[in-house]
Amino acid sequence: MVTASFVWNVCKSSLTFGLIGLTISDRVASIVPVRGFSMSPTFNPDKTTYLGLFTDDHVLVEKRCLTDYKFSHGDVVEKHMIKRITGMPGDWISLPYSYDAVKVPEGHCWVEGDNPTNSLDSRSFGPIPLGLIRGRVTHILWPPQRVGKIDHRSFPQGGFAF
């Protein structure tokens, strides 16, 4: 028969581990699935499995970079979606299929997907505030054959800073 003290100890342990896990995922790092094709071929290069089951890449998002917002060109970041930084504050970004250029304002960055034909990014909604970035993607953790560190290319196939 289960005693009240046993139930109380299980509840305390569960709550303690839950709070520790929440603190780690909020302050240090978290694991996030990457959905869609906007960052292909960096993420999700092959989505031919039935209904996409077990084919989404899962990545490690480190959050220590948020204390001083130290980001650079080529960093892959998360802000509700995962994109690559192609422009930092003060950079001029040329827009594709246009003669226009946009200056990235202070406190903002320009993000683009590695697959420009299938990406909703700054070319559609403009620069994003650095304060909205949730973290920097550092490693692919799943699937096992793709585990490794993220390549920090300077600029993807889309626009470029000058």
83 assigned to active site: yes
79 assigned to active site: no
What is the C-alpha to C-alpha distance for residues 6 and 106, in angstroms, rounded to an integer?
56
What is the C-alpha to C-alpha distance for residues 58 and 38, in angstroms, rounded to an integer?
15
Catalytic residue among 63, 83, 119, 122: 83
Q: Helix, strand, coil proportions of the chain in percent (round to 5)?
A: 25, 30, 45
What is the C-alpha to C-alpha distance for residues 88 and 102, in angstroms, rounded to an integer?
12
Catalytic residue among 38, 40, 119, 122: 38
Q: Which residues are catalytic?
A: 38, 83
